[in-house]
Chains A and B, each alone.
Chain A
């Protein structure tokens, strides 16, 4: 039972901005929203995290609306090396948060084409 819903796959071209949206309608009040990136044959790695509004770091931006029922990962000017699977993670799909039962969704496979 995943607590998050994302598109299964997306295609883009080099140099474009890519936005991946994750739905988390039952997010707990104290849950943060975290995005991970996974390349083939590697473990996922942290990209960005936020609680509300907008967060930006050197690789991405994260937009979170006031109701926090969704979030959008924005990758500016993607390159071929951004081809990967992207996961958003919220928390326990059953509890009120902070139980440690961290359930991932299926993730979004981003294919960047030349």
Chain B
């Protein structure tokens, strides 16, 4: 079982460049989300989706866009990268949005913006 797959694992961008972080899950999960993790800050929710075609903002959505056209994929777009977006990004999924479901995380994407 692949679970939650994130690509790329590492990425270096220049300020102002755009890119898309990919996230795919093969468990037919309704719920997917993106977190960023910075030293001493824990996991901060960027965006989440409770099903295909439905997305909503988390704690730190500015500078990021998402869409959910299929159940399997939930890409995160940086339209104009800034050094403040240097971070490790994790994608997660679960069967539904309810808190009794386990979250399954990908292995992360380490992003550096110069």
Q: Smallest CB–CB gap between B70 and chain A, Å? A: 18
Q: Are B102 and A41 in contact (CB under 8 A)?
A: no
Interface of A, secondary structure class, is loop
Q: Are A1 and B59 in contact (CB under 8 A)?
A: yes
Q: Are A34 and B107 in contact (CB under 8 A)?
A: no
Chain A: residues with Cβ within 8 Å of the partner, total of 30
| Range class of the B interface residue count | 20 to 34
26 A–B contacts from the bound complex (CB under 8 Å): A30-B98, A31-B99, A32-B100, A41-B108, A42-B107, A43-B90, A43-B107, A44-B43, A46-B104, A87-B42, A89-B99, A97-B99, A98-B99, A100-B31, A100-B48, A100-B49, A100-B56, A100-B97, A101-B45, A102-B33, A103-B45, A104-B44, A105-B42, A106-B40, A106-B42, A107-B43
